[in-house]
Amino acid sequence: MLKQTLAAAAGIVALAGVSGVAHAGPDLDAIKARGHIICGVGTGLAGFELADSQGKWTGLDVDLCRGVAAALFGDAEKVKYVPTTAQQRFTALQSKEVDLLSRTTTWTLTRDTQLGFDFTGVNYYDGQGFMVAKKLGVKSAKELNGATVCVSPGTTTELNLADYFRANKMSFKPVVIEKVDEIRQAFFSGRCDVYTTDASGLYATRAANAPKPDDYIILPEIISKEPLGPVVRHGDNQWADIVRWTHYAMLEAEEYGITSKNVDEMLKSDNPVIKRILGVTPGMGKALGVDEKWVYNIVKQVGNYGEIFERNIGAQTPLKIERGLNALWTKGGLQYAPPIR
Amino acid sequence: MSQATEAGPATARPARLPPTTDDGFVGWLRKNLFSSIGNSITTIVVVAFLVWLITWFVDWALLHATFRAETGKDCAKSSGACWALIGEKFRYIFFGSFPYEQHWRPLFAIITMIAMLLLSSDRRMWNWRLAVIWPVGSFITFLLMFGQIHIPVTLIFLVALIAGLGGFLLRRDVADQGERVAYMALMAIGAVYLVLRILGVLPGLAIPIAPFSYVETGLWGGLAVTMILATYGLAFAFPYGILLALGRRSNLPLIRGLCVGFIELIRGVPLISLLIMASLMLPLFLPSGMNFDKFLRAQVAVILFAGAYIAEIVRGGLQSLPKGQFEAADAMGLNYVQKTVFIVLPQALRVVIPPLINTFIGFFKDTSLVLIIGIFDFLSTSNQALVDPLWTGYPGEVYLFAAAVYFFFCFSMSRYSKYLERELNKGTQR
């Protein structure tokens, strides 16, 4: 009893003046006892988290939750989704309403420390970009001198925009509009030449709101860093490990060419790395505290990172997002997983 | 008119019809639409505009519309509306993330709620029947939505206590010996059980009723959520508001102060801030791991908010009553409860029906604010349908559809308010 009290007190001191909530107990036990994970998603962003016509959640972030469930329970369907708004998401995680957040949340220092969270990785490297109408004939953001730019107020987006234009000795006329819907309307009705926000948002807006998506292009320049990734609470490192390595497993699977289609044949592979990854040579699952077939389950039921990317936001979808920064490190991108060994 | 100047009594002459240009359709047109050059021009312009608008709409909504399509891309081939989108998404819009193959459950829950509301809108039901309709209707609704309900035995005894107490207070002087004993017995049984339960002598039992699979509130969505939030929000807020209004006019300073403080506090903040308090602040104050259902928190916030507004409306009705009514009731020897229930409220509520229904309509639509705490009501599911990248670019169709559904409910309430005004004011309309 005294030990528990001390532990709780230590937890409170560790988070003193920050979240106001102590998390001493292991979340993993609670999740295992419950039999499913509770995943905080967004309230609807095409390609990332979206309820389809049947009411099933789909998207890049949703597939991460499914992957975690596959690793932990061997069943990707053992997830309950809680839609959270941007304001409400951190409280939902702090108050244990959700086990993890997977909803396009930018990894920053204060969120990682002060709020009492751990970011377990980056499942989408985003950054601020520019969208223009094709008929302007602009090919690069460097040609935007004197442009009218639609931007929302009070965000880092607005500051990044000003910094970028100043650094490149260009001028611009900002059109500052509070509501996202109104910004979109202003841009597509031609009130401004350029619309700037996170590139993923630009792609989604183009696919979802443009009268003719093919009339608009997203310029190649990305002017800020917005690493989006899953978040868990401080206090249960094993749970954080499982979430972290779920993402890495998806990357490793892609790197070694393991897909949901060929994973059964891959079980017979002679490659020692693949044998380790798929649990043919046991040890990895035990180390992580899950079933030895955890990667097999993830890949079989959800897919590798490349498959997930292409299925939800890739070139074949209406969003048409290129891999870019999110390509594997072997292909010039930033997605790099530590070895599973 | 010219006849008046002619000689002879008017009755002696056969009455002539007015000139055809003053009567009938042509006459009506002349009088109302073409009485002057200015009016004629206005008429022609407005008619031309309406014809253009209606042709455009019919053309868009019917003639060139797409009713069947695989994805939104197929709709783009035609210039008209993409109703195929509604066809694809209407189940999601109505029922949200409720398990797809069990959508009949929220459907029947909605039908049950509508039936319950229709029944209780009939004046002939305004008696003990309401006390049957609402518990039965609510039970069916929530059994369908949850799939499984566990009724705590404590609740049954609590209801017995309240029923006994209510009956005793209201009918103390009119009931015969047997009825009074029955009320007292109910009260006694309820009170004894509750005391024993609180002391921990009796175990907390529950009666499980579980015909379907359990569906938690997080999966509820669409029209079912809007209707539950609005119906139960107002059903609880109405009596609560009346109590607040009565409390505000109480002679006891403590009760009056509490009621005034509560009403002003709630009315002084927007509903959004209450919802955010309920969803963001409350969980942080509660002990770690203890969490109320998010839906319940939103429902309580709606009840508190609506209660404060209804209280002020009811207070307006109370103030419109002449003092003589109160004095007459006192002179008859009625106690406070009898006076309020039989004399004051029936008259006060009659006066405030239009503003009350106005508030109801407002709250029906205000429930869409729950989106900000991540609950998917009817408007949110409509919005969600727009996000699907396979079906993009047809917001007009979805919003028109949503507007039509909202209009159906709000217009029905507005018509009912009209009917109720006529019905209840028959006595004063001679």
State in Å, rounded, how far the first CA of chain B is from the last one: 34
Dihedral sign, Cα of residue A141, residue A336, residue A84, residue A309: positive
**Looking at the complex, does the CB of residue A275 fall below 8 Å from at least one CB of chain B?**
no
Spell out the domains of chain B, with CATH numbers in brackets: 2-63 (no CATH), 84-149+219-428 (1.10.3720.10), 150-209 (no CATH)
State how far the Cα of B331 lies from the Cα of B196, in Å rounded to an integer. Answer: 42
pLDDT of residue A288: 92
Kindly determine whether residue A83 and residue B374, on different chains, have CB atoms separated by under 8 Å. Answer: yes
Sorting pLDDT into bands at 50, 70 and 90, what band is B338? confident
To the nearest whole angstrom, how far is the Cα of A282 from the nearest Cα of chain B? 36
Q: What is the ipTM of this complex?
A: 0.76
Q: Write down the pTM of the prediction.
A: 0.81
**Looking at the complex, does the CB of residue B206 fall below 8 Å from at least one CB of chain A?**
no
**Looking at the complex, does the CB of residue A94 fall below 8 Å from at least one CB of chain B?**
yes
Please give the residue that has the higher pLDDT: either B392 or B246: B246
State how far the Cα of B20 lies from the Cα of B27, in Å rounded to an integer. Answer: 7
Please give the residue that has the higher pLDDT: either B320 or B204: B320
The SS3 of residue A79 is strand
Chain A residue closest in CA terms to B387: A46
Shared fold status for A2-125+227-331 and A128-224: yes
The arrangement of secondary structure in A128-224, i.e. its CATH architecture, is 3-Layer(aba) Sandwich (3.40)
Average pLDDT over residues A279-302: 93
Structure tokens at B274: 């209450």
Sorting pLDDT into bands at 50, 70 and 90, what band is A13? very low
* Distances from the Cα of B280 to the Cα of A280, B229, B301, angstroms: 46, 19, 13
Kindly determine whether residue A50 and residue B100, on different chains, have CB atoms separated by under 8 Å. Answer: no
Amino acid, single-letter form, for residue A268: K
**Looking at the complex, does the CB of residue B279 fall below 8 Å from at least one CB of chain A?**
yes
Kindly determine whether residue B280 and residue A88, on different chains, have CB atoms separated by under 8 Å. Answer: yes
Per-residue pLDDT tens for B209-219? 888 888 888 88
Q: Which of B12, B14, B32, B36 has its CA nearest to residue B24?
A: B32
* Distances from the Cα of A5 to the Cα of A27, A234, B223, B361, B386, angstroms: 18, 18, 47, 52, 50
**Averaged confidence pLDDT in chain A:** 87
State how far the Cα of A145 lies from the Cα of A168, in Å rounded to an integer. Answer: 9
So where are chain A's domains?
Answer: 2-125+227-331, 128-224
Residue B99 backbone class (left: φ over 0; alpha: ψ -120 to 50; beta: rest): beta
B288 contacts on A by Cβ (under 8 Å): 21-23, 95-96
State how far the Cα of A117 lies from the Cα of A230, in Å rounded to an integer. Answer: 10
Per-residue pLDDT tens for A310-339? 999 988 888 888 888 899 999 999 999 999
Percent of chain B with pLDDT over 90: 30
To the nearest whole angstrom, how far is the Cα of B59 from the nearest Cα of chain A? 20
Kindly determine whether residue A88 and residue B216, on different chains, have CB atoms separated by under 8 Å. Answer: no
**Looking at the complex, does the CB of residue A43 fall below 8 Å from at least one CB of chain B?**
yes
Chain A residue closest in CA terms to B279: A88
Q: Tell me which residues of chain A, numbers 125 to 154, contact chain B at a CB-CB cutoff of 8 Å.
A: none
**Looking at the complex, does the CB of residue B94 fall below 8 Å from at least one CB of chain A?**
no
CATH T-level fold of A2-125+227-331: D-Maltodextrin-Binding Protein; domain 2 (3.40.190)
Which ranges of B252-377 does DSSP label H, i.e. alpha helix? 253-267, 271-276, 282-285, 294-320, 323-331, 336-338, 345-351, 353-366
pLDDT of residue B205: 78
Q: Which of B284, B390, B392 sits opposite A209 (nearest CB)?
A: B392
Dihedral sign, Cα of residue A104, residue B277, residue B97, residue B362: negative
Please give the residue that has the higher pLDDT: either B74 or A326: A326
Per-residue pLDDT tens for A109-135? 988 998 899 999 999 999 999 999 999
